[in-house]
Amino acid sequence: MTARIGVVTFPGSLDDRDTQRAIRVAGAEPVALWHKDKDLKQVDAVVLCGGFSYGDYLRAGAIARFSPVMDTVIDQAKAGLPVLGICNGFQILTEAHLLPGGMLGNDHLHFICRDQKLRVENAGTAWTSDYTAGQEIHIPLKNMDGRYVADRRTLDELEAEGRVAFRYVDFNPNGSLNDIAGITNAAGNVVGLMPHPEHAVEPLIGTGRTDGLPFFTSILKKLVNA
C-alpha cells in the first residue's frame, strides 16, 4: 500500500511536475490537483509547489490563496491533513493564515538561485521525521520574495515552541528574520519553507545531492504506518 499525495497546479505553478516526480521517487503516488477544482480527490496529503501563481503581480501567493482548491485545503489542513508548501506554496500558506508571518522581497533586491545549506531544527513534523534534529542539509533555493518576516511576538512564539523547522546556515540568502528558512504549525501537519526539496531527490540532477528526499519519505512513512 502506498500513499496518494496531491500536487496543486495553479496558473503559473512551475514545479508541479518536478514535485510529482519527487513523490514518485520516494515511492508514493502523485495526484494532480487543479486550482479551479475544490475536490482534493481523497488524497492523503497535499503539496503546494513553487512558481509564480497568477504571475504573483500583486503579492506572492495573495491571489492563489483565494482559489477554489484552497477553500478545501484550508478546511482539511485545520482538520489535520498534512500540507507542505514549497516556496510559492509557503507564501500561499502564510497568505491563507495556515502559517504565521509573511514573505517580503529579498533584501538584496535580486532573484537568487543557489545550493543552500540549512539546519533541520524540528524533526518532529509530518514532513521532517526522516531527518534528525540539528542535521545540516543542502537544498536548492531560488526566489525573489524569500525574506521571512513576522512580528516580534510571533517570532518569540515560533522559537519557544520549536516551530522553526529549518534555518539558513553560513549565509542568509534573503534577509529572513532569525535566519528562518521554514516553519511548521503547532500541530506539525502544515510545513512551509522557501528552499526546494523536490529539486534534491536524484543524484546527478540539480546539485547532485538527495538531501530533499526525506521530506517525501517522511510523509510516506507517516501515512502508510497510520
165 vs 150: CA distance, rounded Å: 15
Q: Judged by CB under 8 A, how many residues of this single chain contact another protein?
A: 33
Cell, residue 94: 502564510
Q: Tell whether residue 101 is a contact of another protein (CB under 8 A).
A: no
- Of 3, 5, 15, 48, the one binding another protein (CB under 8 A) is 15
* Angle ∠(115,184,155) on CA atoms, nearest 5: 90
Q: Which of residues 142-161 bind another protein (CB under 8 A)?
A: 142, 144
Residue 59 CB neighbours (<10 A): 14
Least Å distance between CB 113 and another protein? 5
Site string for another protein, 178-217 (x = CB under 8 A): ------------------x-xx-xx-xxxx----------
**Is there a contact between 22 and 139 (Cβ–Cβ < 8 Å)?**
no
Which residue's entry shows cell 538584496? Answer: 108
Residue 16 CB, shortest distance to another protein, in Å, is 9
Q: How do 45-48 and 83-86 pair as beta strands?
A: parallel
Q: Name the residues that contact another protein, by CB under 8 A.
A: 11-12, 14-15, 17-18, 21-22, 50-52, 54-57, 108, 110-114, 140, 142, 144, 196, 198-199, 201-202, 204-207
